[in-house]
């Protein structure tokens, strides 16, 4: 169950364009889940594959590219290499899903993926302040393993929802969402206004609220 603090934080993030709005059409929610599942096979999606996924719901691929521009990461050939925080391109945040290595735009994204796909995942990253390795394993039920045990997550609420591309989303939000060695280290290190600290359990609950329309679409 989410705490009032987490619920309010989720609302603030959704107002800033982070997460899935409650008003998203069901067919678009199903497309998003389908793209997550396809990308989770470990291979880029060719333009024709993306078109097939979207056309099955009656939505043109070009419209999806425009509507979800801040979520779609494409390579030079137009193939999809990342979506909604899950990416095949190496970053500082590593995700292990079904025995395969993936990467994340920010630490929170691992929780989002776990909720949408309904699968256990492991997130491996480094504390940006101390370089300490941090490992978090979650299932659909919650955090199963955390090392160090007092590690926390920073979350930044953007000032606006003006981002319209993956690079802008990552620069304006993802770069400020990390796992820290401890709450003390996090507070001593964070400089960006609007940044707060949550426990891993709170971060997991927050991710569920942000992705609830997709979770419902996948059930």
Report strand pairing: 133-138 vs 143-147.
antiparallel
| pLDDT of amino acid 88 | 97
Residue 191 has pLDDT above 90, yes or no: no
How much is the average pLDDT of 115-126?
96
| pLDDT of amino acid 219 | 66
Phi, psi (rounded to 5 degrees) for 34: -60, -40
How much is the average pLDDT of 143-170?
85
Tally the domains of the chain.
1
| pLDDT of amino acid 160 | 65
Q: Residues 21-62: pLDDT tens digits? A: 878 888 888 888 999 999 999 999 998 998 888 887 777 777
| pLDDT of amino acid 87 | 97
Name the more confident of 219 and 23. 23
Q: Residues 57-88: pLDDT tens digits? A: 777 777 777 767 778 899 999 899 999 999 99
What's 18's domain CATH number?
A: 3.30.450.410
Using 50, 70 and 90 to split pLDDT, how confident is the model at 206? very high
- Residue 95 belongs to domain spanning: 4-218
Phi, psi (rounded to 5 degrees) for 150: -105, 15
The token duo for 219 is 């059930």
Q: Residues 158-171: pLDDT tens digits? A: 876 655 677 888 88
| pLDDT of amino acid 217 | 79
């Amino acid at each position: 169950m989410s705490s009032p603090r987490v619920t309010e934080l989720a609302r603030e993030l959704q107002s800033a364009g982070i997460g899935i709005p409650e008003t998203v059409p069901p067919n678009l929610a199903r497309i998003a889940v389908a793209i997550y599942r396809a990308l989770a096979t470990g291979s880029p999606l060719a333009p024709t594959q993306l078109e097939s996924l979207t056309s099955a719901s009656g939505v043109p691929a070009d419209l999806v590219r425009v509507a979800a521009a801040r979520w779609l990461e494409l390579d030079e050939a137009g193939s999809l290499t990342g979506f909604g925080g899950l990416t095949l391109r190496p970053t500082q945040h590593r995700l292990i899903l079904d025995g395969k290595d993936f990467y994340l735009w920010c630490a929170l994204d691992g929780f989002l993926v776990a909720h949408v796909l309904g699968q256990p995942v492991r997130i491996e990253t480094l504390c940006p302040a101390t370089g300490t390795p941090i490992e978090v394993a979650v299932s659909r039920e919650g955090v199963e393993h955390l090392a160090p045990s007092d590690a926390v997550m920073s979350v930044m609420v953007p000032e606006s929802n003006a981002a319209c591309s993956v690079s802008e989303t990552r620069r304006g939000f993802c770069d400020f969402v990390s796992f820290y060695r401890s709450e003390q280290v996090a507070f001593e290190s964070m400089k960006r206004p609007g940044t707060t600290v949550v426990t891993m359990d709170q971060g997991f609950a927050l991710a569920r609220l942000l992705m609830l329309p997709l979770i419902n679409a996948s059930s």
